[in-house]
Amino acid sequence: MTPAMGRNAVIVHAELSPGAQPDETDVLVQAGAVAQALEDLGYRAVTVPFGLDLKHLASKLCEIEPRIVINLVEGLDGDGRLIHLACSILDHLGFPYTGAGTEAMFLTSNKVLAKEWMKRAGIPTPEWIVQGGAPGAGLPLPGEYIVKALWEEASVGIDGNSVQEAASLPELRKKLRLRAEDLGKPCFAERFIDGREFNVSVIGGPSGPEVLPPAEIRFSFPDGRRRLVDYRAKWDENSLEYRCTQRSFQFGAGDRDLLAELGKKALACWKAFGLRGYARVDFRVDEGGRPWVLEINANPCLSPDSGFVAASAMAGLSYPATIARIIADTLEGGAR
């Protein structure tokens, strides 16, 4: 199909360093798949690496004059704190782009800000404490806490040592500090929910956001280790962690009410953060059946084997149709 006038589409992703890790290089897989889908949809697709030379980037984009920009930027210069900069620059240049806007991207990428926002909106999220900050009300101690990087996505920094037991607040603060020093990144500690894990994806549509079929991460560790999706589980296909954390869309009738509740809470997150295009909300469900929102991914991975794309396929959407829905929610404004 020959692209019509005004059908230029740009895919932007972070520039990769020579030593880029699997969570970073995966964006090349995403860009390739998106480019093919765009060509199938009649666009002329151009991929532009996004770096800190903003004048060069702006000049390149203005030269192409894209009708739409597919934003795959997950950080800049290896720093997740800069994820929102791509949105800010695209806003400044006036080019429409897929996924969350600048404000929503900043709020969701800073995990503690996101949790504060969820708390204000009445969305349940596990209690937490951040380095140097006061603990939230009702911080349960003694207890188990998972220490996470404040800004990083894709399970960066999560491993078998991430879950820490603490009997007191001083002990928890010390373990948080030591873990942050070990990772070399700002961190926070969140109450660990030792339960089931779910991913609920949402996609924009002409009548508003649509909840896609929920997925559960089924843990099958043979040695009784903590049930969590760490870095190896996501990125090392030869690891035990990868093999023992499998996605499933199969549920019994007994989960019907729980799945409906997860969908409602995912939509509440969409509304509270002003999301658009597509998103994924990660949950843990405790032994009492209560769901807790862990994170909101405002621009989830678009690799063909990703959770969001798998959920779209379960809803009957092909890969090009999924990309078309995301673009339409940007260009047409979508019902919010």
Structure tokens of 108?
């969701």
Helix/strand/coil (H/E/C) assignment for every residue in 6-31? CCEEEEEEECCCCCCCHHHHHHHHHH
The pLDDT of residue 156:
65
Q: Looking at the structure, tell me whether residues 205 and 294 fall in a common domain.
A: yes
- Residue 289 forms part of a structural domain: yes
How many of the other CB atoms lie within 10 Å of CB of 111?
Answer: 24
Tokens of 39: 């060509």
Lowest mean pLDDT among 191-195, 229-233, 319-323: 229-233
pLDDT digits (tens, 9 = 90+) for 301-310: 999 999 999 9
CA separation for the pair 177, 180 (Å, rounded) = 5
Strands in 143-149's sheet, in edge-to-edge order, are 128-130, 187-191, 143-149, 163-166
Mean pLDDT value across residues 177-182: 87
* Residue 12, C-beta contacts closer than 8 angstroms, at least 6 positions apart: 47, 48, 49, 50, 69, 70, 71, 72, 73, 86, 90, 97
pTM for the model stands at 0.91
In terms of domains, do 85 and 18 share one? yes
Using an 8 Å Cβ cutoff, are 312 and 203 in contact? yes
Q: Are residues 198 and 326 in the same domain?
A: yes
Whether the pLDDT of residue 333 is over 80: the answer is no
110 occurs within a structural domain: no
Q: Let me know whether 13 and 92 are in one domain.
A: yes
Q: Which residues on neighbouring strands pair with residue 247, listed in sequence order? A: 217
Residue 109 lies in a domain: no
Q: If you search the block for the tokens 């959920």, which residue do you land on?
A: 311
Which strands make up the sheet holding 68-71, listed edge to edge? Answer: 44-50, 8-14, 68-71
Question: Do the domain assignments include residue 297?
Answer: yes
Both 91 and 148 in one domain: the answer is no
37 and 90 part of one domain: yes
139-176 pLDDT per residue, tens: 889 999 999 888 766 456 687 778 889 999 999 999 88
- State which H helix or E strand residue 46 sits in: strand 44-50
Q: Find the CATH number of the domain harbouring 271.
A: 3.30.470.20
Structure confidence at residue 135 as a pLDDT band (50, 70, 90): low
Do 45 and 90 belong together in one domain?
A: yes
Same structural domain for residues 173 and 208? no
Q: How many residues does the chain have?
A: 336
Task: Kindly tell me if the per-residue pLDDT of 281 is higher than 80.
Answer: yes
Tokens read off for 291: 């769901």
Confirm whether 137 is domain-assigned: yes
pLDDT for residue 101: 94
Round the average pLDDT of the chain to a whole number and report it: 89
Lowest mean pLDDT among 15-24, 205-214, 237-246: 15-24
Task: Look at 12-21, 31-40, 251-260, 268-277 and tell me which has the smallest mean pLDDT.
Answer: 12-21
Query: Under a CB-based contact definition with an 8 Å cutoff, are residues 67 and 8 in contact?
Result: yes
State the SS3 of 103-171: HHHHHHHCHHHHHHHHHHCCCCCCCEEECCCCCCCCCCCCEEEEEEECCCCCCCCCCCCCEEEECCHHH
Residue 231 counted as domain residue: no
| Chosen domain end from 76, 97, 118 | 97
Predicted local confidence at residue 137, as pLDDT: 55
Which is nearest to 101 in space by CA: 81, 87, 114? Answer: 87
Q: Is residue 84 part of a domain?
A: yes
CATH code of 80's domain = 3.40.50.20
| Domain closes at, from 59, 75, 97 | 97
The residues, any chain, with a CB within 8 Å of residue 232's CB and separated by 6 or more, are 159, 239, 241, 242
271 within some domain: yes
pLDDT of residue 334: 46
Question: Which alpha helices (H) appear in the chain, and where do they start and end?
Answer: 22-40, 54-64, 83-93, 102-109, 111-120, 169-183, 231-235, 240-243, 256-273, 307-314, 319-331
Considering the domain architecture, whether residues 182 and 255 belong to the same structural domain is answered as no
Tally of structural domains, the chain: 3
Number of Cβ within 10 Å of residue 74's Cβ equals 24
Q: Among 230-239, 256-265, 327-336, name the one with the lowest average pLDDT.
A: 327-336
**pLDDT over threshold 50, residue 5:** no
In percent, the amount of the chain with pLDDT more than 90 equals: 62
If asked whether residues 84 and 136 sit together in one domain, one would say no
- Both 79 and 35 in one domain: the answer is yes
Taking residues 6-32, report their average pLDDT: 86
**Which of 24-28, 114-118, 317-321 bottoms out in mean pLDDT, i.e. has the lowest?**
24-28
Domain that holds residue 179: 127-191
> pLDDT at residue 178 above 70?
yes
- Identify whether residues 207 and 276 lie together within a single domain: yes
**71: nearest Cα among 41, 104, 115, 40:** 104
Whether residue 18 is preceded by a cis peptide bond, meaning omega within 30 degrees of 0, is no
Structural Rg of the chain based on CA atoms = 20
Q: Which amino acid is it at 40?
A: D
